[in-house]
Amino acid sequence: MRIYDIILKKRNGGTLTKEEIACFIDGYVNGSVPDYQAAALCMAIFFRGMTDAETAALTDCMARSGDMIDLSRFGGLTVDKHSTGGVGDKTTLIVAPIVAALGGKVAKMSGRGLGHTGGTVDKLESIPGMRVTMEREAFLRQVEAIGIAVIGQSGNLTPADKKLYALRDVTATVDSIPLITSSVMSKKIAAGSKNIVLDVKAGSGAFMKTPDDARLLARNMVAIGKACGRNITALITDMSRPLGTAVGNAIEVIEAAEVLRGASKGDLYDVCAALATEMTMLFAGVPRAVAEKQVADAIESGAAFEKMKEWVCAQGGDTAWLESAKYGDGAAFAVPVLSPSDGFITSMNAEAIGAAAVILGAGRSKKEDAIDHSAGIIVKEKTGGAVKKGQVLACLYTNNAASAQQAKQRYLDALTIGPQAPEKTELIFDIIR
Ligand code: URA
């Protein structure tokens, strides 16, 4: 079988067999298929799409390209979540301790930020001392003992996705439904949890720009999860503006801690409560109303925040920092963005706001770039907000004075201010079971 013929077949709109897909994945992982041929095939898939059977075969080959984690010792209590990526999306930091406080077993491997979207592992590393790597047995022992461990993607988990995702990121082939489906679901299947909740983002800060595209992606992922014997639900949630107020790393951890302390309500709280409710329904097998109450009680009682501290402590992190850190700590410059006019914010380009945070140092432009954990943006007014000329719309934190001016312009360009308030939109568009 020649990889050239596989590329040609897909380029011409053909349907690949399981064997052809396996030949591509095996060859790409072992190095016999070079990046340029893999990139050509990804682009052919981007334009030609894949049938359900092709997507399922691709997911299966990618999941089996490395280790498969066995979580059977935890029975049906294992629960995972995955977001397709957004701006200000710190939901894992909030929902993981909530469901662990309720008896779920969260054995989670998370990613780093790339492009305009943030990553949980980078956020966790802003907690002084926090370790995000662990040997497999230590990881499982921690889940056994306290119900939660979150680390970076381990050495040999879905190496096919690791290579392909990095390649797609630089070849404009990320936003393809079969490629996102296989990337997300291969990781979830290899990571071993019985119960999975997907947060499929839709809007300007997401890979899927409309709820309809997000629904299509969600249906694909749910079908594959079910075919692999998992209990799986997908929420389609709004990413037409940053989620919550913080966009960065340390500041997102601080905001997450505030939500867990019950000190912050709003869109972030609502999305997290919805995700944690779905996770609890799956792992505990309880009806929605019961799960909703358990989730609210876990926050109100302080149990969820205690669980976060237990988790941080178990991974070497400084819990005193978690209790006392403030927005802007460690950043030499705090630069306000002022409204240029009176009116209402009618739209926000969340992707551009994510890019502004990257300019400040909160993300990477290239994989090898270092992150400034203290850099980021506190969004003070969001879509629908009434603003006055000169009012502070956001505060930019950075250690690089020159980047602040560039980020400030980028932030202002990301907003539209008009004379009339826009219509209110949904936060949760749909739930796919
Ligand atoms: N998140 C992933 O893990 N993979 C994708 O392809 C897109 C978002």
| pLDDT tens digits for range 250-277 | 999 999 999 999 999 999 999 999 999 9
Q: Is residue 306 part of a domain?
A: yes
Model pLDDT, residue 154: 73
Q: Is residue 352 part of a domain?
A: yes
What residue owns the CA closest to ligand 1's atom 6?
A: 180
Mutation pick for ligand 1 pocket among 46, 108, 173, 184 (CB with most ligand atoms within 8 Å): 184
Q: What is the pLDDT of residues 308-363, one digit of tens each?
A: 999 999 999 999 999 999 999 999 999 999 999 999 999 999 999 999 999 999 99
Mean pLDDT of the chain: 96
Model pLDDT, residue 170: 86
CATH number at residue 362: 3.90.1170.30
Mutation pick for ligand 1 pocket among 42, 84, 120 (CB with most ligand atoms within 8 Å): 84
Q: Is residue 424 part of a domain?
A: no
Same domain, 298 and 359: no
Model pLDDT, residue 345: 98
Separation of 38 CA from ligand 1 center, angstroms?
Answer: 17
Q: 210 lies in which domain range? A: 72-156+192-323
Model pLDDT, residue 367: 67
Question: In one letter, which amino acid is 257?
Answer: A
Q: Does 368 score more than 90 pLDDT?
A: no
Same domain, 43 and 92: no
Q: Does 119 score more than 70 pLDDT?
A: yes
Q: What is the mean pLDDT of residues 17-43?
A: 98
Same domain, 306 and 345: no
Q: Does 92 score more than 80 pLDDT?
A: yes
Separation of 183 CA from ligand 1 center, angstroms?
Answer: 6
Model pLDDT, residue 129: 98
Same domain, 275 and 148: yes
Q: Is residue 131 part of a domain?
A: yes
Same domain, 90 and 45: no
What residue owns the CA closest to ligand 1's atom 7?
A: 180
Counting from 1 in the atom list of ligand 1, the atom nearest the Cα of 168 is: 6
Model pLDDT, residue 60: 96
- Regarding the beta carbon of 84 and ligand 1, being less than 6 Å apart is answered yes
Query: End of a domain among 265, 296, 323?
Result: 323
Counting from 1 in the atom list of ligand 1, the atom nearest the Cα of 165 is: 6
- Regarding the beta carbon of 180 and ligand 1, being less than 6 Å apart is answered yes
Q: Is residue 17 part of a domain?
A: yes
Separation of 178 CA from ligand 1 center, angstroms?
Answer: 11
Longest dimension (CA), the chain: 65
- Regarding the beta carbon of 177 and ligand 1, being less than 6 Å apart is answered no
Question: Whole-angstrom Cα distance, residue 98 to residue 95?
Answer: 5
What residue owns the CA closest to ligand 1's atom 8?
A: 84
Query: End of a domain among 323, 358, 392?
Result: 323
Separation of 82 CA from ligand 1 center, angstroms?
Answer: 9
Separation of 376 CA from ligand 1 center, angstroms?
Answer: 23
Q: How many residues does the chain have?
A: 433
- Regarding the beta carbon of 104 and ligand 1, being less than 6 Å apart is answered no
Separation of 396 CA from ligand 1 center, angstroms?
Answer: 28
Provide the 10 A C-beta neighbour count for residue 133: 12
Same domain, 391 and 269: no
Separation of 132 CA from ligand 1 center, angstroms?
Answer: 20
CATH number at residue 229: 3.40.1030.10
Same domain, 366 and 310: no
CATH number at residue 44: 1.20.970.10
Query: Residue 197's closest CA among 176, 175, 227, 218?
Result: 218
- Regarding the beta carbon of 186 and ligand 1, being less than 6 Å apart is answered no
Model pLDDT, residue 407: 98
Same domain, 348 and 236: no
- Regarding the beta carbon of 183 and ligand 1, being less than 6 Å apart is answered yes
Active site residues: 82, 161, 168, 183, 187
- Regarding the beta carbon of 184 and ligand 1, being less than 6 Å apart is answered yes
Which of 426 and 170 is assigned the larger pLDDT? 426
Same domain, 121 and 209: yes
Q: What is the pLDDT of residues 36-59, one digit of tens each?
A: 999 999 999 999 999 999 999 999
Provide the 10 A C-beta neighbour count for residue 4: 10
Query: End of a domain among 323, 355, 386?
Result: 323
Q: What is the mean pLDDT of residues 221-247?
A: 97
Model pLDDT, residue 113: 82
- Domain total for the chain? 3
Q: What is the mean pLDDT of residues 178-192?
A: 96
Q: Is residue 174 part of a domain?
A: no
Q: Is residue 363 part of a domain?
A: yes
- Count Cα neighbours of 413 within 13 Å in the Cβ-side half-sphere: 11
Same domain, 357 and 214: no
Same domain, 315 and 345: no
Q: Is residue 311 part of a domain?
A: yes
Same domain, 111 and 32: no
